[in-house]
Amino acid sequence: MRTWKQLADELGKEVPDEDIVQHAYHLRPERIVQGILRWTDNWREVRRIVYRQSEIYRERFLAEQHRPTTGLLNWLQLLHRYDMPCVVFSRMDRLSVHKALSDMGVESLFPVRVTAEDEVETAIQYLLVACMKLKRAPQKSVVYEDNPRGILAAHEVFSKAVALVGLFRAYDLNAADLTIEDFEELRVMNVRRLFSDQEELAPQFELDRWR
């Protein structure tokens, strides 16, 4: 939101409503500028604005000191202990993703990453590329999301979806297979139950070690 506000100030445009920015979060910036904010129909100008928007966002992102959300470190360490491979996917560039993971102390837990350099566009493409890099079928994977569109994308590729309340309310995330307030709510059995209708595809946790 701060990025769009700064951009609007620079361009002398009206600052967009926060609800608009939130619900357009997963849309391409070109579509936001041209179709939602209606700042211009000139494609060259749209591209110039989008480039500046990405510059501002990246500058702010790199200046931020990123902190993991509640329970995230413990959950990732547990997955690592059970040899469950993890991948992070982001529209940000590789350097920005590296910086964020490093700030949060989880860099070593995400050796596999999908970033802007992979040149994919849609949420579905990000998920499929992530699965290809992990060498794991989408239907054997769990996607952690905080956005309704990301949840729908996960289901489009037959992955299970765990939704984190925050950016959106629980009501907006009701399409998820499991909704949590924070990662401290997660248990191994929670995740196994997501695959109860396809037992052969369930991630193979060693339950006796959890006990």
- The pLDDT, as a whole number, for residue 21 is 82
**Rounded distance between C-alpha atoms, residue 155 and residue 148, angstroms:** 11
- The pLDDT, as a whole number, for residue 199 is 54
- The pLDDT, as a whole number, for residue 205 is 44
**Rounded distance between C-alpha atoms, residue 141 and residue 162, angstroms:** 11
Taking the domains of the chain in order of start, what are their residue ranges? 2-63, 72-210
Q: At what angle do helices 2-11 and 43-63 cross, to 10 degrees?
A: 130
Beta bridge pairs of residue 92: none
Q: Which residue has the tokens 């070690």?
A: 209
Q: Which residue has the tokens 């910036």?
A: 29
CATH number, domain 72-210, options 3.40.190.10, 3.40.50.1000, 3.40.47.10, 3.40.50.150: 3.40.50.1000
SS3 161: strand
- The pLDDT, as a whole number, for residue 176 is 95
Successive 10-residue mean pLDDT values, the chain, 211 residues: 93 89 78 91 94 94 94 93 91 94 95 93 92 93 93 95 91 94 88 75 43 38
The number of beta carbons lying within 10 Å of the beta carbon of residue 57 is 19
